Amino acid sequence: MIRYVLNKFIFMLISLFALVTATFVLMNAVPGSPLREEKATTAQIQKNMEAYYGLDKPLVQQYGVYLEKLAHFDLGISMKQRFRSVNQTIAQSFGYSLRLGIVSMITSVLAGCALGIIAAMRHRKLLDNLAMILAVAGLAVPSMVMAPLLQYLFAVKIRAFPVTGLHGPLDYVLPAIALSSVSIAFIARLIRSTMIEVLSADFIKTAKAKGLPGHLIVWRHALRNSMLPVVTYLGYLTANVITGSVIIEQIFAIPGMGKFFVQCVIDRDYPLIMGTTIFYAILLLASRFLADIAYLFVDPRIRISAGRMGG
Amino acid sequence: MPSELNLNADSDASPDRFRKIGRDPKRAERIARKSLSAWQDIRYRLFANKLALFGMYLMVAVVLFAIFAPLFSHYNYFSNDLDRTNQAPGFRHWFGTDDLGRDMYVRTWKGAQISLFVGVVAALIDLAIGIVYGGIMGYFGGKTDEIMNRIAEVLYAIPYLLVVILLLVVMPPSLTTIIVAMSITGWINMAWIVRGQIMQLKNEEYALASRALGAGPFRILFRHLIPNAMGPILVTLTLTVPGAMFTEAFLSFLGLGVQSPIASWGTMINDGVKAMTVYPWRLLFPALLLSLTMFAFNVFGDGLRDAFDPKLKK
């Protein structure tokens, strides 16, 4: 079991290192100096600026300094917003994204499970078909269509919810739905297909034979065994939420990290791009790592044979 | 006591209406159902699935319109007509016009061209790399498999979208960049599918026979094993397309992908969102088409997967 966790942890570090290195190489492969501007600056000012950002040193040394700072969670200084550190900027915007992200992850899991269980229990009946049509539609309608649609219908036409911003609890409803619709659909399909298989297993027949009522069979026996793929999916759910939040935050004008990540990409603010990318990467890799560990608790089989886990 | 059996009064199930047939050896050997080859069976089951069939028709329709609609229109996708901006859908402009007076009908189908092109090319690149990489992993096994698999795992762990956006920062925004960026980590899924298939197939008799006849590993792999693994490969291919289309629309929506005046569903949706309250049709058509196309590919891919899955055979 310890070997399994260690194995996963080392993988996470290698992936992170590869990404950090790739980011560094890519950002330095861009021709021209990031500090050059339209404004004419004297050679001395140029030099001072380069020294300020550490760009006067050889590339290998820059890389070393970068890694060292990173080890202390120091992501550097923004180039476009002078004298503001990347850490500050992330700290300011991440709160919004985190809150929205958590709300939509909870929504995804709860709604997805509910839909999937209903579909599996009424397999090949009306409710099943309805739930699955809903799920396929949810998968097909991408967030950049879903978000404006919800905004138009429920905020502009009906005026039930605020159009933009993220202040009160009502503000969360539309962005959270738009952000989780794809994940709800995905989880519903996962749960349905595993649960249909689980429901025909022998131990379910035993439970039925000993007289356990239907809802208890699902709750105590079937659900737990159907949760496995969902737990694996949780790591990817984080990725989905992050990807989605980039768009949702644009549309609902939420000053979160996604909106600001796109802005820094458009601005070509290299330290910010690097910083945000690495921050996102840590977030994603850590959540996948946690999902792997959660697997241990849900599936006792791994605890016993925690040796090889490839593919 | 059959005589006391309480039969219905109007039933005429009297013993003389029955006849003993006995055993007919010819009849026992008779083939009751028309014999179908594997591909015929798959086609039959795919076509029996109404939703998948609907998805297929939808796919074909979108492809045909994407190719022919811009050809048979008086308008093109880039010419401005500043006298007719933001026209509602009507006889002149079937889908209306945008803020520069460009015909939305032609632009929407031009967007379909871009979207389909990106989706199909990205899927084909994934296919090419995935088959070779996965084939080698699966066929040679052992240390080769171990090392190649580790490399793939590390790459797979790197968040896909971050790589795409990073590359877009460095390379000029164009279709090529988008496709290259998507292919960097996109092939891994396909490689794993192929690997799993090859590992199952490589010890089949026909592969052994081929080896006994002196065929080299690559001949066995590409002439015998890959064609037999085509089912799961096709399914993965179909399901890759909507993902790639989404990524293109996503990047274009954020202004990182295809640049104006080239029409892309992503950029058109972005423009449409801004004008949504006043000119809703500018959002409606590209959004509807993107969703419908992704729906079609998803549904068709699902149907294909079910058709290939022998466990679901009735």
User: What is the Cα Rg of chain A in Å?
Assistant: 24
Tokens of A203: 């131990």
pLDDT for B6 equals 53
Q: CATH code at A235?
A: 1.10.3720.10
Q: What is the pLDDT of residues B12-52, one digit of tens each?
A: 678 888 888 888 887 777 777 777 787 888 888 888 888 89
Whether the predicted pLDDT of A311 surpasses 50: no
Average confidence (pLDDT) over A256-261:
86
pLDDT averaged over every residue in chain B: 85
The most confident of B17-31, B197-211, B297-311, by mean pLDDT: B197-211
Q: Does A70 touch chain B (CB under 8 A)?
A: no
State the amino acid at position A261 in one-letter form. Answer: F
Q: What is the pLDDT of residues B169-199, one digit of tens each?
A: 788 778 888 898 888 888 999 999 999 999 9
Q: What is the pLDDT of residues B98-128, one digit of tens each?
A: 878 788 888 999 999 999 999 999 999 999 9
pLDDT for A302 equals 63
**B158 vs A273: CB contact, 8 Å cut-off?**
no
Assigned domain for A201 exists: yes
Assigned domain for A139 exists: yes
Neighbours of A27 (CB within 10 A): 19
pLDDT for B291 equals 93
pLDDT for A36 equals 60
Residue whose C-alpha is closest to residue A250's, from B27, B243, B269, B2 = B269
Whether the predicted pLDDT of B288 surpasses 80: yes
Q: What percent of chain A lies above the pLDDT cut of 90?
A: 11
pLDDT for B10 equals 56
Residue whose C-alpha is closest to residue A151's, from A252, A227, A82, A47 = A252
A26 contacts on B by Cβ (under 8 Å): 166-167, 169-170
Least confident residue range of A27-31, A276-280, B98-102, B282-286: A27-31
Q: What percent of chain B lies above the pLDDT cut of 70?
A: 95
Residue B59: which pLDDT band, with cuts at 50, 70 and 90? very high
Q: Which H helix or E strand runs over A291? A: helix A270-298
Least confident residue range of A202-211, A276-285, B86-95, B133-142: B86-95
Whether the predicted pLDDT of A129 surpasses 50: yes
Greater confidence, A29 or B231?
Answer: B231
pLDDT for B12 equals 67
Neighbours of A289 (CB within 10 A): 19
Whether the predicted pLDDT of B208 surpasses 70: yes
Could you tell me the CA-to-CA distances from B214 to B115, B222, B226 in Å, in that order? 45, 15, 18
B97 - beta bridge partners?
B103
**B159 vs A284: CB contact, 8 Å cut-off?**
yes
Torsion of CA A255, A260, A266, A272, to 10 degrees: 150
Q: Which H helix or E strand runs over B282? A: helix B281-308
Whether the predicted pLDDT of B1 surpasses 70: no
Assigned domain for A308 exists: no
Q: What is the pLDDT of residues A34-54, one digit of tens each?
A: 666 556 667 777 777 777 777
Average confidence (pLDDT) over A233-253:
84
Whether the predicted pLDDT of B8 surpasses 80: no
B155 contacts on A by Cβ (under 8 Å): 18
pLDDT averaged over every residue in chain A: 83
Q: Does A288 touch chain B (CB under 8 A)?
A: yes
Assigned domain for A297 exists: no
Nearest to A140 among B254, B280, B298 (CB): B298
Residue B310 DSSP code = G
Whether the predicted pLDDT of A267 surpasses 90: no
Residue B222 DSSP code = I
Chain B contact probe: residue of A13, A24, A28, A145 with most B CBs at under 10 A: A145
Residue whose C-alpha is closest to residue A155's, from B254, B276, B88 = B276
**A310 vs B192: CB contact, 8 Å cut-off?**
no
Number of domains in chain A: 1
Q: What is the pLDDT of residues A166-211, one digit of tens each?
A: 788 888 889 999 999 989 999 998 898 888 888 888 888 898 899 8
State the amino acid at position B73 in one-letter form. Answer: S
Q: Are A100 and A245 in contact (CB under 8 A)?
A: yes
User: What is the Cα Rg of chain B in Å?
Assistant: 28
Assigned domain for A206 exists: yes
Whether the predicted pLDDT of A307 surpasses 60: no
Q: What is the pLDDT of residues A56-102, one digit of tens each?
A: 777 888 888 888 888 888 887 877 776 678 888 888 888 889 999 99
Domain containing residue A239: 89-268
The Cα–Cα gap between B128 and A101 comes to 36
Chain B contact probe: residue of A15, A144, A190, A280 with most B CBs at under 10 A: A144
Q: How far apart, in Å, do the first and last CA atoms of chain B sit?
A: 40
A288 contacts on B by Cβ (under 8 Å): 157
ipTM of the complex: 0.80
Average confidence (pLDDT) over B70-95:
81
Ordered by where they begin, the domains of chain B are 37-73+91-312 (1.10.3720.10)
Whether the predicted pLDDT of A304 surpasses 60: no
Question: Helices B160-170 and B230-253 meet at what angle, rounded to 10?
Answer: 50
Q: What percent of chain A lies above the pLDDT cut of 70?
A: 91
Assigned domain for A21 exists: no
Count CA atoms closer than 13 A to B291's CA, side-chain side.
20
Assigned domain for A8 exists: no
Is this model's pTM higher than 0.90 or not? no
Whether the predicted pLDDT of A9 surpasses 80: yes
Residue A162: which pLDDT band, with cuts at 50, 70 and 90? confident
Q: Are B164 and B249 in contact (CB under 8 A)?
A: no
Assigned domain for A107 exists: yes
Task: Output phi, psi for A73, to 5 deg.
Answer: 60, 35
Q: What is the pLDDT of residues B147-158, one digit of tens each?
A: 898 888 878 777
Could you tell me the CA-to-CA distances from A147 to A109, A137, A258, B298 in Å, in that order? 19, 14, 15, 21
**B157 vs A285: CB contact, 8 Å cut-off?**
yes
Nearest to A15 among B146, B158, B292 (CB): B158
pLDDT for A309 equals 42
Q: How many CB pairs under 8 A join A and B?
A: 122
Tokens of A218: 């699902």
Average confidence (pLDDT) over A17-31:
81
Residue whose C-alpha is closest to residue A202's, from A176, A222, A228, A184 = A222
The Cα–Cα gap between B139 and B144 comes to 9
Residue B96: which pLDDT band, with cuts at 50, 70 and 90? confident
